[in-house]
Structure 1
């Protein structure tokens, strides 16, 4: 699940996908209606990949919480963000039991649930495929030495004066 190019722009509803950077800001496309907007560098913008939620021990990245929700919901939609605060907080406690109840507010949970449903609806919550280790084809020092030993020795030509 990659949230690298997904943005939340303060004062604008919904989520956006970063399309192009410009000299004065960037162009983003709304996930709600597909309209492209230009955003100046003065705007308060948050990358979802940089957002974390407070727990009692540390902070959990938003991507990890989204994976927990997806796992709980079998990659389907979750409850509505319009549920009452008690329902939202109870649901979030099931998803992330160790969240810090004093620093995570119902409004934060509403955003997370709303973002999850938006990303799920657009098919952007595909689980990351496990990284496959690529075979290193760079020869080792021993292989290089062995290859040079096999090659016929070149005789140096003497220069005539």
Structure 2
């Protein structure tokens, strides 16, 4: 699973693939429609690889949450992010049983499931454990 170059841009729908960096920002390609946009340095941008979910025992990387969803769904799509909050929270508790219910809101769960389904449709998530990325993280 490679979400190292996938971005979430505040105020823009969907996810973006980082294509190249410029002096004033960077160029990203939408995963929804394939259109390229330029993003300035003032935009609020998050790399999915840097996002973690709070648990009662610490934090879990978003890539690990995606892997657990893929494992649960056998690499298929997750439930829709448009389900009611109780159903979403019950589903998320199956995927990540010890998530911190005080700090992880229904809106966060909706976002995670929406992102997962977008990436899954593009074949970018897998239930296989990442090998190369884990080795790099343990050496640092």
Which blocks of at least 5 consecutive residues in structure 2 are unaligned?
Answer: 133-140
> For 1:9-158, what aligned pairs fall within 5 Å after superposition?
9-126=9-126, 127=128, 130-131=131-132
Moved segments of 4+, more than 3 Å: 126-131
TM-score, length-scaled by structure 2:
0.91
Larger strand share, 1 or 2 = 2
- What secondary structure is seen at the aligned counterpart in 2 of 1:93? helix
Which blocks of at least 5 consecutive residues in structure 1 are unaligned?
Answer: 132-161
Contact 1:2/1:128, CA 8 A, preserved across alignment: no
Q: Which one has more relative contact order, counting CA pairs under 8 Å at least 6 apart?
A: 2
The alignment yields a C-alpha RMSD, in angstroms, of 1.1
Q: CA deviation at 1:19?
A: 0.1
TM-score, length-scaled by structure 1:
0.79
- Write the distance in 1 (CA, Å) between the matches of 2:71 and 2:64: 11
Q: CA deviation at 1:2?
A: 1.8
* Residue of structure 1 in register with 2:8 after alignment: 8
Q: CA deviation at 1:10?
A: 0.2
- Write the distance in 1 (CA, Å) between the matches of 2:131 and 2:61: 18
- Write the distance in 1 (CA, Å) between the matches of 2:130 and 2:60: 21
Q: Would you say how many aligned residue pairs link Structure 1 and Structure 2?
A: 131
* Residue of structure 2 in register with 1:146 after alignment: none
- Write the distance in 2 (CA, Å) between the matches of 1:129 and 1:98: 22
